[in-house]
Structure 1
Amino acid sequence: MQLNGKVGVLVAAHGMSTASSMAQVVGQLLDDYDVQAFDMPLDMDPSVAYDHVKRRVEKLDSGKGILLLVDMGSLTTFGERIQQETGIATRTIDMVTTPVVLEAVRKASLVDSDLDSMYQELVGFKGYSRISRNLPTDSQRATVKPALATDKTAQRAIIAICATGVGTAERIKSILDSLLAQNFIEGITVFPISVVEMKTRIQQISQNYQIIAATGITKPELDVPFISLEELLQGGGEKFIDQLATGIDSPQTMAEESQQLTPELCERYLGDYFTFLNPKKLTGILWEYSEVIATHLDGVMTNAFRIDLIMHLAGALERTAIKDEISAPTEEMPDIMASKWYPLVQQANQQLTDQLQLTFSDAENYYIVQLLETHQAKVAMS
């Protein structure tokens, strides 16, 4: 199977399923890349194994070469011979492990990947348990204290901030949980929190956790790495993980400028992060909803708030469609219904009902109004 101009990755190892098991795990984590594998039974003649590997290399190559990941023995000698006989550029890395395969496939998936650069980077690859190794030691904590953590804090946390603490923040948590799992990083809990209760929740979380990073619609007053919601959704999560891995000397913010938010970009976000929604159908509808809200805001609607609003609405639509109901404090509903935003939300919701035949529950309306109230309060304070 050719990979449309990408470096091919072939895993080869001794045993009945050693290579294919690693490939299966990586394939499940990175489902947009077809990982190829060759299992070499211990009683297979090396010359027979060579012919199998050679045929797979020829089939896999798309012009950018093949990275051959092997365990030991005769398999380590195949790459150079295959290159001589076929002219296909081949590089071999031995002592293969699942993290090595995962990192190789991640690098091969990049549009601008090239064989020699991948090979050089993977030769020095030491695995993914980088955050644990780079956290400050007790002596370092004496002079540098991340967040509000105490020296005795054992558990680590990332806080995900949105207007309400539900919807977008929970989606951020899902993204980060997935990235942490893909990087085999354990022992980090992601907490979705509301910007309204941010200071209180940070104080509560820091009693039992060392807060090592933050992400979302606003940067908290913490001396930890931060990535904005826009940058995270635009694929900056990998860089964020790398930033955490650099430890106490890392810069405290992601400096890259985010793209201007467009309906096309929103469609991509919805397609990437929602399972039960049709982004082509919904993007225009949700963008129009945000425009209705924008006309009543004090000031210009920012990228961050438009993303937060659209992602929150998409989450509400998905929950409504699959009947995954959420709850809201009933004692606060009278205040919500008295909000100046409530009639506007009802008006915008009616458009959704007319176009999609879906009606938000009172609880969903509660959080939409809360999102708008929170945003306006934030604008008033700035």
Structure 2
Amino acid sequence: MMRIDRIFKKLQSMQEPGGVTAQDLADLLGYSRANVSHELNKLTLSGKVKKVHGKPVRFYPVEQPHNECKPASAPLKAVTNDTPKKSVLGKFSEDNPSLYAAIEQAKAAVLYPPNGMNILILGETGVGKSMFAELLYDFAKDNQLVKNNSNLIVFNCADYANNPQLLVSQLFGSKKGAYTGLDENRVGLIEKAHGGILFLDEVHRLPPEGQEMFFTFIDKGTFRRMGETDTLRQADVRIFAATTEKPESHLLRTFTRRFPMIIRLPSLKERTFQEKNNLVNFFINSEAQHLNAPVHVSANSLNAFMSYECENNIGQLRTDIKFACANAYAEYISGKKPNISVVSRILPEHVKAALLENVEHRKVWNGYMPAKTAVSVYYPDQAYDYAAELDDNTVYDALHELFESSSPENMPELVDVENAITTFFRENYNHANKHSNYKIENLISGNILSLADDIITLCETELHKSFRTEFKYALAKHIESTLDRVKANKKIYHPNLNKIRVELPRLFNLALDSLRLIERQLEVTLPIDEAGFLAMILMYDEVSNRENTHTKVIVVMHGEAAASSIAETANHLMGVNIAHGFNLPLDVKPQLITDNIIDFINSEEHISDVLLLVDMGSLTHIGKVIEEHTGIRTRTLQLVSTLHVIEAVQKSISGLKADDLYNEVLNVFSILEQPADAVTTAAAAERKLAILTICTSGEGAAKVLQNIIEESFSYRKNYLDVIPVEFTDANQFMREYDQIASTHIVIAAISPLELSLSVPVFNVNIASTDAGISQLQQLIDTETTAQLMIDPLRSMLNTISPVEIIPDIRHFIQQYTENLNISVTSNMIIGICMHMACLIDRLSSTHNNNSPEKMEEPDSPVNRILMNHVMPLCEKYSVVVNNAELNVIAKFFKQSNK
């Protein structure tokens, strides 16, 4: 028995009321779904099987009564005369809720007795006015309002706007001899549409003489062909018209009174994300139908289609999808791919640019894309069925002709295929303008741009300067990359953090303040290392107009303008001039470009390293040649895209050298999209901090107090826990306290009782006064800051554990400030702790190799007091601090008390 017979026999035996899907049969028979679908379509053509359109498509044998074959998911309805096509319009309405009102208006106009109302459809270019007219035409046929053999005549008045005489002739027909060269009578579109519908697009482009004749026909149902004077003709035609003009414009005032029903279609920007998803699926399904083959679409490609801005609305979306499918089809029929695969590489450039975005689109998209789904497959038998296609897929025919006319030994080159596709779309579609001038507002989410504005305002106030406009985008892009890195649980490490703190103290403090601003607004915990990067970015803006030594980013690619274009784009977005592109035309030897790069590097005075981003071939080896002739350190990376170059430029701004820059750019695609929750992950300390909320009236009251603290104070939830504790027995409470202290670092307690604990105890009314809130918030900030310093200090200290020394330095700070009755900020605590930890570690390392020096006599009253407080640290770690080092420590406290 042949496969087709087995499938038909199995289908007959199942007798499912709602019909059977191709996947159901494939699972039962062990065949691939594509093969089963192919055989079912054959059976449908032979008349043995009927197909029920929907999602998914279902099949049933013809001997099964058709009225039993409603889709299983369809609700029971009262029996009506509605045909399946009418339910298709309902389906379209469900899939496009923003069009519900327009569809209901249109239905009412079509059904209005005796002959319906004329309809004027308003909307921007590409919103789907023609598709909407076809839907209404099908609706009219299904309800027997027009004859089944009647026509929908489509005419775009703009096509003949420059030749009014020919336009009128096309519309109303012409009498023989009406104009030179006309040697026969011609029937116009109105006569051809008799008994059906005439759809006039861009109706406002009708010339004045044509408008007068058109209005006469609308008002009286009569018309004359051009050149006729004695014959008055009649036609029964429903008029649908469409225009991009506003109804209040002068051109349309005479039209609107003759169209009782005016319907406006929203632009694609006004449609919901779900609607755009439905449209993308519909158009891809349509291409699969035309190709009669499955179309495989990558997750990145779907993401791009969902996210990019279609300036020309649905028409552009449809064209761009068709363009991508044409590219995929070309690779398939040329034998380069085993199936028709749409991947991001072959998307139109302005669509592909959407993949750079890190806006809410991708987070929302996660809800529409099944987990771990890399590729979606669209089968020909699963297409939407709510509209007919508006044109033919001649692009596929063009590609077939290209390959059919070639011999196996002389297959078309890639450039020939690209030219064929490009030519087709240029000649057949009004393709949307390229997004060559897209702005970074389309690439970065609004909340990050707003945050960048807040940081710039803070920095401008503190530094008494104005930042360049471009700086905002460089900062926003950096914040976005940082968030992606944290979401992917990738460590943020700055190798020169302490050097930045020492050499750029003012900018480092500002960076710390900016860090807290980011954390508060985005609910994210960031390591102190990130302050190093922020300080470098602030520093770069200050020195960008002066001499600066940094890693140069050089892009080298085959082609006439690819490298320079990418480099210019990256520089423009970042507001700098770090990337330089060198184009290698196919007829130029690589050695010439190498010589040009060497000359360029030798002419630049402020290059420390060079990162080469190249595409392929011999270019991967030019780094060694450049090093030999310039003495400049190079690293070469065979990865070139706009995203890679932007990442390289951004990290170069941050002061990274070639090796670190190489690793950062290499990892640019390893950042995986996480669920759209607030970012809260970071490398936490070994033990979290804890605040205890204590209550004597039961655990419930303690939890209420816990909620008050959580809502009233700002803190990093992955560094600090607020723990409710019930106090009913002193011994039991202390056992519970000790247990918590074994897993947490308790920093405070909130209690109605006066307890004697080793940590500060606050009254339960702490959150009701400004002073109380300020006092506890400062404690939280200080203790959290101490924990945050542990991780970066691990890479700075050689002989001492940061976990051990940070509490000791904290104790020194507390004792010294209380003695002098001065206060220090969290930023100053970071500076003092980092400085003293590195100082003691360095002195300790020296002590291991040399005999300790004698302690100098303090040379000032301030140093004498300071020495008394530093002495316990010196004794514990066996180090000697001299007057010069005491002076540096004293400066921290003087600065903090200004």
The bucket for the TM-score relative to the shorter chain is 0.3 to 0.5
Larger CA Rg, structure 1 vs 2? 2
TM-score (norm. length: structure 1): 0.34
TM-score (norm. length: structure 2): 0.16
